[in-house]
Structure 1
Amino acid sequence: MGGFNSIVKLFMPKDRVFYSLFEDVAANLVEMGKVLNELVNTNDASTRKDKVNLIERLEHKNDDLTHRIFVELGQNFITPFDREDIHYLAATLDDVADYIHGSAKRLDIYKVHEINDSIRKLSELILAGVEELHHAIHELRNMKNMRVITDACVRINSLENHADDIYDRAIADLFDSESNAAELIKMREIYQALEIATDKCEDSANVIETIIIKYA
């Protein structure tokens, strides 16, 4: 069996394409998180519009990378970890991108002039979450520092809990202070999109944990 494993290793590409693609996705998500935070921290309308457009372009880039992962999955006989885990990780990371984009798009189309602390705080938590995913995904390539991966996943978990608390408070405040039904619906949708982005970070972290449990 040992000899067979050596032969298999011989034919495996040294820089396996899945690692590179996932690292590109993770870097792209960090970029999206940074731009979202720039967006919610400016009052300048044209700067905001530019940031929304940039997030849209980054989301398209993410779609392309995700598509490439699925194409590789269809063509490669050997994969670095279970095919369904690769599929699910790609899908959950793509969801993170979708909800970052969805949050930015809603801020734009609903013409939110006053961006409040809840929106800013949720955006910060999204950025922190994608940065942790970036750390964890980089460690998947050699799986030498399992602690880095597990610590990142634990932090993502606690960021998501924090986001839940902020979301619950923001919704409660909204129902207390907003009498205009249309405004209430708009703001609730924005909070929901931001909060779901943190949920999707946690979903991605859960897949990463599944992978390392199998390969530890």
Structure 2
Amino acid sequence: MFFGKLLPKEGNFFELFNEHGKYIAEGARSFTSMIQYYSTADLREKYAAEVDNAERAADKVTAEVNRLLHRSFITPIDREQIHGLINAMDDILDLLQDSSEVMALYNVQNVNEDVIRLGDISLKCCERVQHAVSLLPKLSQPEVAEAALKTCEEIDRLESDADRVMRSAMSKLFRDDIDVKELIKLKAIYEHMESISDRCEDVANLIEGVVLENS
């Protein structure tokens, strides 16, 4: 009896997932704004700082989920699913921050159309992740479970779009006559940005697993 009092039966995991999802969407919007206003140094730095703030805030949520997981006796979904999901979500913001930092470290002065397109796809993916995560508390309702699966399918399609954009961008890099330093910079940026959608797809796959196991 005493042991049971020490371990809460169920924590507020879904609320924490929602909070983290909010930071993912906020970070993605700031990252996209940074790209949009990249040629204006003050705005670029402002939005880059917002990405950093979102990443730090999300780290705190991730840490709280992991602490709560150790303290909780009963969890709303499988413990491994909780651990995998929050860490996959955290990877998204890490890559948003990494992509922002790579641009600064490489002293990129201007962004091209392919970077803008990858940024737009990243934002759409992140917003879809936030939406899918928000549905987790009500997956017992068939219509909600169906909506979650549909959102995950949308993320998969967006990830495929990001793949196509990156392949096209890479092809242009090695086909056109371009300075070697610029090629190295852009290649790294493309790879980082495409990985954002990959991590969103990881979250979608985990959510699909939760839906299928609990439907």
Q: TM-score, normalised by structure 1?
A: 0.91
- Superposed CA deviations along residues 24-51 of structure 1, whole A, max 9, x for unmatched, are 0101000011101111111201110111
Matched, 1:141 2:137: yes
User: Which residue matches 1:59?
Assistant: 55
Partner SS, residue 112 of structure 1: coil
Comparing 104-113 and 189-198, the one that deviates more? 104-113
- Superposed CA deviations along residues 89-135 of structure 1, whole A, max 9, x for unmatched, are 01111111111111111122212222111111111111111111111
In 1, Cα distance between the equivalents of 2:176 and 2:52?
32
**2:186 aligned partner, one-letter code:** M
- Superposed CA deviations along residues 124-170 of structure 1, whole A, max 9, x for unmatched, are 11111111111111111121211210110000000000000000011
Matched, 1:166 2:165: yes
Retained in 1: the 8 A contact 2:135–2:148? yes
Q: TM-score, normalised by structure 2?
A: 0.91
Q: How does 1:1-216 map to 2 (within 5 A)?
A: 16-42=11-37, 43-143=39-139, 144=141, 145-216=144-215
In 2, Cα distance between the equivalents of 1:171 and 1:22?
35
In 1, Cα distance between the equivalents of 2:88 and 2:57?
16
Retained in 2: the 8 A contact 1:25–1:65? yes
Residues paired across the two proteins, number: 204
- Residue segments in structure 2 that go unaligned for 5+ positions in a row: 1-7
1:108 to 1:176, Cα distance in 2 relative to 1, 3 A: same
Post-superposition offset of 1:12: 5.2
Post-superposition offset of 1:177: 2.3
Q: Report the aligned-residue RMSD.
A: 1.3
- Superposed CA deviations along residues 28-82 of structure 1, whole A, max 9, x for unmatched, are 0000111011111112011101111111111111111111111111110111101
Retained in 1: the 8 A contact 2:152–2:204? yes
- Residue segments in structure 1 that go unaligned for 5+ positions in a row: 1-10
